[in-house]
Structure 1
């Protein structure tokens, strides 16, 4: 029997999946097509941009229609259809005099033509140092993101093998502020389309950090699943007498069903598009809608509100159980995989921030064991670049020392102060502006240089 038919799932699982869709907000968060742009290099910038546009529109022309067809056929919502491309700094580096912003504009036009929600890969990988092309791209990020609608950007500034490039960290604090200032009249939205990574991966289907890694095939389909509402319902139904190991088992079962559905959708999409199926990212990705919150799962484990003592332990249980259940359900697991904790995209997180129970410091502690890092956090508009750089450095240190991906996506909300609310629209949600430490750290950030990789980073 074909693995691309709905009968790939047992009939009982199909019925359970229908219930999860209808009652508990199960969806496929994203179907993302990765596209290799290295063959687009031409002798001139104009010809290269034309080739970029043509390649993306040709490769991904059927992505949205195919995804919508699968939605109708299976009755499973696919929230976003996206494209990721080869880091643009690599493409621009091979073209004399190329302005990377021109490539960003070409990507934006291509995304509009094929109808995708986001296109990612305006990226540079500088964990061990940057080329001239990398530096040009980084300096251009505020311009590129403010002048385009759906282009997303990421910069990898550290890794467990190379250490942390503090010169890049210092610069990225300025760039984040530059993005916010360039779109101050639009809620500083450009900063919400920029992620700064340590240990970035090339098969991540989620935005804003997705790019198409050089180790990937020319074209590939990666799927990001969701389902916090399904897991929340499963945990809540167990009541107050269940032990934590019993809760872990129930989460594993729910994650298995969610991931099985993601593999089905990804396999069908890849077959119909005639390209390889890559991975399923097992991450629980919340939204700001009620019933779709990671925070509420932790609260149903017995926390009165997320942020109190015990929150990090509860998140560790959740993250591990999601991965164990998902890995049993899927032939190829990748991306980030685990639990996202974006403040603006999680109703429970928003409530905890407003109540004063969830702070940036507690979120930083939680990122030691979750999938990403400080994600979609609005901070005061006058936050200095050095403070943002310090937040990036702290998260990079957690990722480097623990051999995991960490990231920072903070939004200095220009003109706003603590307690104000910033609305980003759509899946990006809205966020209360959170306080940050104001004690000066510029002497440390200003030193530049590199933080060496830990000794356990050398495993050969």
Structure 2
């Protein structure tokens, strides 16, 4: 028996994955481009950023919950990633940058997501004075917010290592931990330092929406270790070829479940 391209057995296996093997969708992350929010007036930029995020993500959590209920697959987190904020804030004062960070928090709270990432800079080859100032303000932003996450890409195979940026980021980690010491140093945990950062990254805390991406996109993060563990346990004594084949099959089904939910949410 088939339902579309999915057999009844595959449907039952997916139900088993959810109930017995702890399959869940770890996160749905909505990527949002802020490139159209750029401008010379910081107040206008900050207002545009808030309105863009809220208008784009206003139904995200509601839709996620509806899809979760319809398909019976738990979706643990709803998140947002935005264009690296340093790209839209050149010339901002430290006060403006801090306000921009707080506006990201306000927008995240307004649409009820768990985290918002993208308050970061791509400085693997060099830093402008504005980018240096931007990175310097990160500890204050992270300590004054709960949901905002930050990053810096400080090295790449092609460009080498920006030692000045590495030194600056080390200070950011230390300062962020100090400012959030009463909260177990959570500020440092919300700051990611990359080498060879991908062009787009939906994974917190280093999430950002790549500049080559479209206006927005949906990213799905799947948690399937329990499923793979169950496969291995059920195949004790099997040869390596059989084991590899079954792991591959299970991983494919987990991925298909994630793709299905992602398409439903995006639609």
Compute the TM-score of the two structures, normalised by the length of structure 1. 0.56
Match of 1:10 in 2: 7
Instruction: Choose from 129, 132, 137 the match for 2:129.
Output: 132
Contact 1:30–1:205 (CA under 8 A) maintained in structure 2:
no
Tell me the alpha carbon deviations over residues 197-249 of structure 1, each in whole angstroms, 9 at most, x when there is no partner: 1121243222101100100001111111111111111112211x233443322
Instruction: Choose from 249, 254, 258 the match for 1:258.
Output: 254
| Cα distance in 2 between the residues matched to 1:86 and 1:118 | 15
| Cα distance in 1 between the residues matched to 2:262 and 2:165 | 36
Match of 1:243 in 2: 239
Gap regions ≥5 residues in structure 2: none
Higher relative contact order, chain-length normalized (CA < 8 Å, sep 6+)? 2
Tell me the alpha carbon deviations over residues 14-40 of structure 1, each in whole angstroms, 9 at most, x when there is no partner: 111111001111011111111111111
Tell me the alpha carbon deviations over residues 299-318 of structure 1, each in whole angstroms, 9 at most, x when there is no partner: xxxxxxxxxxxxxxxxxxxx
Instruction: Choose from 188, 206, 211 the match for 1:209.
Output: 206
Contact 1:26–1:227 (CA under 8 A) maintained in structure 2:
yes
Q: Does 2:21 match 1:44?
A: no
If each structure's helix is expressed as a fraction of its own residues, which one has the higher value?
2
Q: CA deviation at 1:158?
A: 1.3
| Cα distance in 1 between the residues matched to 2:19 and 2:166 | 44
The DSSP-based 3-state class of the residue aligned with 2:207 is coil
Tell me the alpha carbon deviations over residues 243-274 of structure 1, each in whole angstroms, 9 at most, x when there is no partner: 34433222211110100001101111111xxx
Contact 1:8–1:264 (CA under 8 A) maintained in structure 2:
no
Instruction: Choose from 104, 107, 114 the match for 1:107.
Output: 104
The DSSP-based 3-state class of the residue aligned with 2:204 is coil
The DSSP-based 3-state class of the residue aligned with 1:116 is coil
Gap regions ≥5 residues in structure 1: 1-5, 272-460
After superposition, the CA RMSD in angstroms is 1.5
Tell me the alpha carbon deviations over residues 315-360 of structure 1, each in whole angstroms, 9 at most, x when there is no partner: xxxxxxxxxxxxxxxxxxxxxxxxxxxxxxxxxxxxxxxxxxxxxx
| Structure 1 pair 103–10 and aligned structure 2 pair: CA distance change class (3 A) | farther
Q: CA deviation at 1:42?
A: 3.0
Task: Provide the aligned length of Structure 1 versus Structure 2.
Answer: 264
Q: CA deviation at 1:113?
A: 0.3
Q: CA deviation at 1:64?
A: 0.6
